[in-house]
Amino acid sequence: MPKEIYDSYENMLFNLDSAAKKLGLDYDDYLSLRYPERELVVSIPVVMDNNHVEVFTGYRVQYSSSRGPCKGGLRYSNDVDINIVKTLAALMTWKSAVVNIPFGGAKGAIRCDPSHLSREELKRITRRYTAMILPLIGPEKDIPAPDINTNDEVMGWIMDTYSMFKGYSVPGVVTGKPLEIGGTLGRQGATGRGVVYIINDIAPLIGFSLVGAKVAIQGFGKVGSILAQLLAHQGSKIIAVCDISGGIYRESGLDIDDLIKYVNNNPSKTIKGYKSPGVTEFPKEEIFYFPVDLFIPAAKENQITASIAKKLNTKIIAEAANGPTLVEADEILESRKIIVIPDILVSAGGLVVSYFEWVQNIQSLMWDESEVNELLMRIMKRAFNEVWAVHQQREVNLRMAAYMLAIDRVVKAKKIRGVFP
């Protein structure tokens, strides 16, 4: 029984070490995977709208480039530090390896609360941050993408800032950009779509059907809202959702299309104030306790603790968020026979379509949306089948199977390249 681990990096290391042990790896072969390759902390002075200067802290961590350029999102939140950025960068490394695309892993963040910043302030923060991490990023080095509280517009500012320094347009420096400047069709919603593809893959193997399934979702942002919509369109009943502002419930299932329209028009971009017949409100912390068939964390890391794992009333958890489940919770969920589809597999859709965007950028090509979606489905299915095979052959849970697949691939790449010098 592992000790209670609340440190997200320790949590990730526990999974890494366990997978390495199961794979029978030599410590020398995987030791360097316990450390990020590079960590940068920057101070970002910005002239605010009131003409005073404020200084924000930014991070960029490149965890591994063994399998290709580093790749990972950029997050704006007051709730970040170097530790969480390191963890998320490691998870990106494993995620790229699980879906077997030629990227390493990275993550970035700026400690700020975007809900208290004007658009112009956000733009200045983004541009200065980009300038400060400029030596580290680029299409061959490290390619940021949207994450919590960042979007295509922010990616556009990064692309422009980088391009101004270079003196020519470099669309491949970021993914998740607006279409007009080299974004790809199908990127928005790709993570949610990938989650639904994987649930459809696993369903027949575990005797589960999405039609009529009761679902609760934590987080109603870029990922949570789209997957809610796709699941509802497939016949699931989304009975409860919550975001930072609170939760809403309807026994017969929420009208997700209507809710998305409401959130998009709500200045706070939250579900706060949503009214519809039969809909009741609840405190967001209660999202875990509804009796459902499928629970989807789609908000942030470290949400499913041991005490929550004891009370969760679901058959399946699909981890759309990165790192939502703590190690000690994993053990409890396993003993309760709750199936956990791990983040590094199920939430890889955005990463895969980011890869397509990068490929289109460096080849100056533009793919159809159907091409993007078909190839996404194929890559997600391949990854699912590979994880499922390890799960069956090695008799390990799906998280361990995904980690084993990923670590094996990264270690092989490292061994082929050797330790420099």
Ligand X SMILES: NC(=O)c1ccc[n+]([C@@H]2O[C@H](COP(=O)([O-])OP(=O)(O)OC[C@H]3O[C@@H](n4cnc5c(N)ncnc54)[C@H](O)[C@@H]3O)[C@@H](O)[C@H]2O)c1
Active site residues: 107
Please say which residue, 78 or 392, places its beta carbon nearer to ligand X.
78
Answer yes or no: is 71 a known binding residue.
yes
Site for ligand X in 72-101 (CB under 6 A): none
Annotate 52-99 with DSSP letters as a single string: -EEEEEEEEEEEE-TTSSEEEEEEE-SS--HHHHHHHHHHHHHHHHHT
Position among 321, 376, 387, 404 found at the interface with ligand X (CB under 6 A): 321
Q: Judged by CB under 6 A, does residue 300 bind ligand X? A: yes
Position among 256, 350, 355, 367 found at the interface with ligand X (CB under 6 A): 350
Please say which residue, 126 or 270, places its beta carbon nearer to ligand X.
270
Please say which residue, 65 or 347, places its beta carbon nearer to ligand X.
347
Tell which residue, 206, 256, 214, 220, has the closest CA to residue 236.
214
Would you call 4 exposed, middle or buried from its count of C-beta atoms within 10 A (0-12, 13-18, 19+)?
exposed
Position among 11, 66, 322, 361 found at the interface with ligand X (CB under 6 A): 322
Please say which residue, 156 or 224, places its beta carbon nearer to ligand X.
224
Position among 147, 160, 201, 386 found at the interface with ligand X (CB under 6 A): 147
Amino acid found at 342 = P
Please say which residue, 30 or 129, places its beta carbon nearer to ligand X.
129
d(CA 102, CA 263): 36
Contact in structure between 243 and 301 (CB atoms under 8 Å): no
Distances (CA, A) of 312 to 163, 208, 282, 297, 302: 48, 18, 16, 12, 15
Position among 71, 127, 222, 409 found at the interface with ligand X (CB under 6 A): 222
Instruction: Compute the residue count for the chain.
Output: 421
Position among 8, 62, 184, 218 found at the interface with ligand X (CB under 6 A): 218
Q: Judged by CB under 6 A, does residue 62 bind ligand X? A: no
Contact in structure between 94 and 403 (CB atoms under 8 Å): yes
Position among 221, 360, 383, 386 found at the interface with ligand X (CB under 6 A): 221
Answer yes or no: is 337 a known binding residue.
no
Answer yes or no: is 310 a known binding residue.
no
Q: Judged by CB under 6 A, does residue 298 bind ligand X? A: yes
d(CA 167, CA 114): 30
Tell which residue, 226, 155, 225, 160, has the closest CA to residue 190.
226
Annotate 250-291 with DSSP letters as a single string: -TT---HHHHHHHHHHSTT-SSTT---TT-EEE-GGGGGGS-
Position among 242, 296, 317, 407 found at the interface with ligand X (CB under 6 A): 242
Handedness of CA 43, 47, 48, 51 (dihedral sign): positive
Backbone angles phi, psi at 122, to 5 degrees: -60, -40
Contact in structure between 326 and 5 (CB atoms under 8 Å): yes
Stretch that binds ligand X, among 11-19, 136-144, 318-326, 394-402 (CB under 6 A): 318-326
Stretch that binds ligand X, among 6-14, 222-230, 251-259, 387-395 (CB under 6 A): 222-230
Read off the DSSP letter of residue 314.
-
Q: Judged by CB under 6 A, does residue 357 bind ligand X? A: no
Site for ligand X in 261-280 (CB under 6 A): 270
With contacts defined by CB under 6 A, how many residues of the chain interact with ligand X? 25
Answer yes or no: is 354 a known binding residue.
yes
- Mention every residue, 6+ apart, whose C-beta is less than 8 A from residue 378: none
Q: Judged by CB under 6 A, does residue 174 bind ligand X? A: no
Output the smallest distance, CB 284 to ligand X, in A: 5
Stretch that binds ligand X, among 24-32, 125-133, 241-249, 386-394 (CB under 6 A): 241-249
Q: Judged by CB under 6 A, does residue 148 bind ligand X? A: yes
Rama region for 77: left / alpha / beta (φ>0; ψ in -120 to 50; rest):
beta
Stretch that binds ligand X, among 13-21, 298-306, 373-381, 397-405 (CB under 6 A): 298-306
Position among 152, 201, 243, 330 found at the interface with ligand X (CB under 6 A): 243
Our CA dihedral for 130, 135, 139, 143, rounded to 10 degrees, sits at -50
Instruction: Name beta bridge partners: 108.
Output: 60, 74
- Judged by the rule CB under 6 A, the positions of this chain that interact with ligand X are 146-149, 191, 218-224, 242-244, 270, 284, 298-300, 320-322, 347, 350
Annotated binding site: 71, 95, 191, 354
Binding residues for NAD(+): 191
